[in-house]
Amino acid sequence: MKKNVDLPSYEEVIETFKKSFNQVNDEELNQLFFNNNSKLYTRGEDIYHQGRRINGCYFIYSGVVKVFQTGGEGKEQIIRFARKGDLIGFRSVINQELACTSAKTVDNAILYYIPSSILIKLLKTNPEFSYQIIRLVCKELGESNCYITDIAQKTVKERLAEILTMLISDFGLDDDKVLQITITREELANMVGTATESVIRLLSEFKTEKIIETKGRKLRILNPRILSEIAKSY
Amino acid sequence: MKKNVDLPSYEEVIETFKKSFNQVNDEELNQLFFNNNSKLYTRGEDIYHQGRRINGCYFIYSGVVKVFQTGGEGKEQIIRFARKGDLIGFRSVINQELACTSAKTVDNAILYYIPSSILIKLLKTNPEFSYQIIRLVCKELGESNCYITDIAQKTVKERLAEILTMLISDFGLDDDKVLQITITREELANMVGTATESVIRLLSEFKTEKIIETKGRKLRILNPRILSEIAKSY
DNA sequence: CGCTCTTTTGATCGGAGTCAAAGTCGGTGG
DNA sequence: CCACCGACTTTGACTCCGATCAAAAGAGCG
C-alpha cells in the first residue's frame, strides 16, 4: 500500500483540467495553476467539512472522493462519488456560504486547490467557462432531483440495484467483471440511504440469484443487465 | 372563482423580472419580452410535461406552480413550489434534454414564455446574468442535496414539520395565522414523500397537540416554533 | 340536489431498522 | 512466522413505522 506517488507536473494538471473544461485559455489556466499547489491525500482524509468555512474548491487530478452530508444522528448520506476531472466544493464557494457537505477521500487522491477569488473571477469574465459550469450544475441538479424521487418511492432493493448500476457506469468493470471502485458496505449503505445490514442482506440475495459474487470488498458483477432491470421498475 | 384577471402590461412584466434578475439591460429585456406572450393558466393546468421536448422556459409573473416528477407507480414527487419571480424549466433547456420534471399550476397563474434561443444567447453574452443563474442553480442544488439527506434519514413526522415550516417561510401567514398557500393533502404528501393517509394522521396529531388547526384546506399555524423544533431533530 | 373527489378513521401487513452475537479479514508487533 | 487485535461483515431475532386496503363522512361543483 505504500506506493510512492509523484505529484503531477504543471503540464499534467493542465492537461487533465482541459479535458473537463476546454473553454479556458492559457493565461487563465496559468492563473488557476501557477503556484502548483496540488496535494496528495490518503484514504479517509478530510478535504473539507460541513458547516465550516470554505475558501476555495478542489480539482480532482486522480483518485476518488466521497461528498456527503451528516444527518441528525451522525449518519452519513453520500451525495456522490467524485473522481478524476471533477470539481468539488464550488457550490459553497459560489453561494458564499458555509460548506453544506463534507468531502473525504475513498482512495488515495491528488487534489488541486483553487482559491475562491480565482474561480469567481473566471466565472465573471469568461462566459463560455461560465456556461460550462452552468451546464454542470444543472446536470447535477437533475440527478439530485431524480434521486429524491427514487429515495421517496423506490424500495431499498431497487435503489441498491440502481446505485450499483451507476457505479458500474461511472467506474467500470475490469476484464474479470470486478467493479473498479472499492468501498465498504457501510459506504454503500450511506449512498443508498439505508442500514448497513440491509445492504448486506440484499447483496446476499443478489449472490444467491447469481447476479453478483463478492470477495471481501471486491464486487464481481455477473449480470449488470438484471441489476438495471431491478433498478428501474418502470 | 371566476375573477377576471387582466394580463400584465409589458412594463409590469419587466418590472417583476428585474426584481429577480437585475443584471439584464433594457435591450436584453426587450428581446426577452418583445412579443409579450404571457398566458393565464388556471388551477391544475399543465405547463410542461416530463419526458417531452421543451423549447423554452417560463417566468412566473403571478400564481403558484408545482414542479414534480412522476415515479414508477405514477406517484408524483413534488420537487418545489415556484412562485412570482421564479424561472421554471430552464434546467432542461440548458442541458438540452427532455424535461425531467413536469410543471402544473396550483393556483391561477400568469406565466411568460421565454424561448430557449433567447435564454441561451443571454447566458452566453451576459456574464453577470450568467453568474446570477449559476448562483440560483447552486442554491437549488444545495437544497436538493439537503432534502436527499432528510428524506433518507428523517421520519415522516419530521419531514412534514419541515415542509410546513418551509411553506410558512415561503408563502407566509396572514393576520389570522392562516398559511397563504392552499394545497390538497395529497399534494402535501407528494411533497413530503409519503402516503396521503400518513399526512392526514400526522396533521391530526398536530391538531391534538394544538400546533395547528384546519378548516378544509386552510391551515392555521398556531405554533410555528414547535414545528421547526420537530423538523430539525438536530 | 345528487355526484364525484377529497378527507378522515380503522384494521392489517410487511419492509426495513435496530440490537445482538458470531465469524472474517487484514495489519502489526513480538 | 504466527498470534492477536480491531475493524468490517454476516446472520438471526425482534420491533415498529408507515404503506395499503377498505369504507364512511364531508365538501365542492355542475
Nucleotide showing the shortest C1' distance to residue A204 CA: D10
Percentage of chain A surpassing pLDDT 70?
A: 96
B122, B150, B153, best to mutate vs chain A, most A CBs in 10 Å: B153
CA distances from B33 to A174, B42, B116, B155, B204 (A): 54, 22, 13, 45, 47
Rounded, the Å distance between the CA of B142 and C1' of D12 is: 40
Q: Across the interface, do A134 and B137 touch by the CB < 8 Å criterion?
A: yes
Structural element, H or E, at residue B76: strand B76-83
Rounded, the Å distance between the CA of A14 and C1' of D8 is: 39
pLDDT at A115: 92
Q: pLDDT digits over B153-184, tens only? A: 999 999 999 999 999 999 999 998 999 999 99
Identify the residue whose cell numbers are 421543451. Answer: B54
Structural element, H or E, at residue B48: strand B46-48
Q: Across the interface, do B91 and A142 touch by the CB < 8 Å criterion?
A: yes
Please, what is the average pLDDT of chain B? Answer: 90
pLDDT at A34: 80
Q: pLDDT digits over B186-210, tens only? A: 999 999 999 999 999 999 999 999 9
- How distant is the Cα of B188 from the closest Cα of chain A, in angstroms? 14
Which residues have Cβ atoms closer than 7 angstroms to strand C? A 1, 73, 155-157, 193-195, 197-198, 216; B 184-186, 196-197, 200-201, 203-204, 214, 217
The 10 Å CB-count burial string (b at 16+, else e) for B90-124 is: bbbbbbeeebbbbbbbbbbbbbbebebebbbebbe
Instruction: State the CB neighbour count (10 A cutoff) for residue A210.
Output: 10
**Is 60 exceeded by the pLDDT of residue B234?**
no
Q: pLDDT digits over A187-197, tens only? A: 999 999 999 99
**Is 90 exceeded by the pLDDT of residue A84?**
yes
- How distant is the Cα of B222 from the closest Cα of chain A, in angstroms? 26
- How distant is the Cα of B114 from the closest Cα of chain A, in angstroms? 18
If one compares A38 and A184, the residue with the highest pLDDT of the two is: A184
pLDDT at A234: 55
For residue B88, list chain A residues with Cβ-Cβ distance below 8 A: none
Prediction pTM value: 0.92
What would the mean pLDDT of A218-225 be, rounded to a whole number? 92
Rounded, the Å distance between the CA of A214 and C1' of C24 is: 13
DSSP letter for each residue of B97-122: S--SSEEEESS-EEEEEEEHHHHHHH
Measured between alpha carbons, how far is A66 from A68 in angstroms, rounded to an integer?
A: 6
pLDDT at A2: 39
Query: In the numeric block, which cell numbers belong to residue B152?
Result: 433518507
Q: pLDDT digits over A91-116, tens only? A: 999 999 999 999 999 888 999 999 99
For residue B92, list chain A residues with Cβ-Cβ distance below 8 A: 142
What would the mean pLDDT of B10-39 be, rounded to a whole number? 88
Nucleotide showing the shortest C1' distance to residue A198 CA: C16
Q: Distance between terminal CA atoms of chain B?
A: 43
Instruction: State the CB neighbour count (10 A cutoff) for residue B38.
Output: 20
Q: Which residues touch B163 (CB under 8 Å, ≥6 apart)?
A: B188, B191, B192
Instruction: Give the residue with minimal CA–C1' separation from D29.
Output: B1
